[in-house]
Amino acid sequence: MSLLAKSSGIVFTKCALGLTALTLAGAVLAQVQLPTPTKLDGGKVISVEQGRALADKKTAFFIDTRSPVNFGKGHVPGANAIPYKSGSEDAEGFDASKDKFDLSKLPAAKEQALVFYSDGPTGWKSYKAAVWAVKAGYKDVNYMRDGWSEWLAKKLPAEN
């Protein structure tokens, strides 16, 4: 093997290693989820404690927007499984036409208090569903931003 071939092999190996490192770094960055907004135009962002108070009063309609599998692993007592299927980007100005959410499963009364939640602060499904509800004319839309993960962390009641 000539010196040039050996040298080229080393360069190729370093180049391949560099591309592998860049690919892995890109994969890690792709998995980082941005947090959801801390405000909801036309609605309220509430804490899990505020959600618990509404659940205890049994006056609010709770919507768990996670997948049916995750809902089945545990949820807020009395919550309704209405999965949100997202095809849009996770951003405040998302394109709702790329998503699916069954508004017909929400109460007919637009004054009914609604509480949307999903996994936690990176759970865009609940944020997006809450935006849909506001746009559909619901008057008392609550987005429990810290979601199921915080509900569990606080050891609040759960249902399977």
pLDDT at 31: 59
pLDDT at 72: 97
The 10s digit of each residue's pLDDT in 46-76 is: 999 999 999 999 999 999 999 999 999 999 9
pLDDT at 146: 98
The 10s digit of each residue's pLDDT in 72-102 is: 999 999 999 999 999 999 999 999 999 999 9
pTM reported for the whole predicted model: 0.81
The 10s digit of each residue's pLDDT in 95-150 is: 999 999 999 999 999 999 999 999 999 999 999 999 999 999 999 999 999 999 99
- DSSP letter assigned to residue 79: -
pLDDT at 33: 80
Strands (E), 26-127: 44-46, 60-64, 80-81, 113-117
Distance CA(129)–CA(142), nearest Å, equals: 11
- The average pLDDT across 17-33 equals 49
Distance CA(75)–CA(78), nearest Å, equals: 8
Residue type, 143: Y
Q: Which residues of 121-149 are buried (b: 16+ CB within 10 A; e: fewer)?
A: bbbbbbbbbbbbbbeeebebbbbbbbbbb
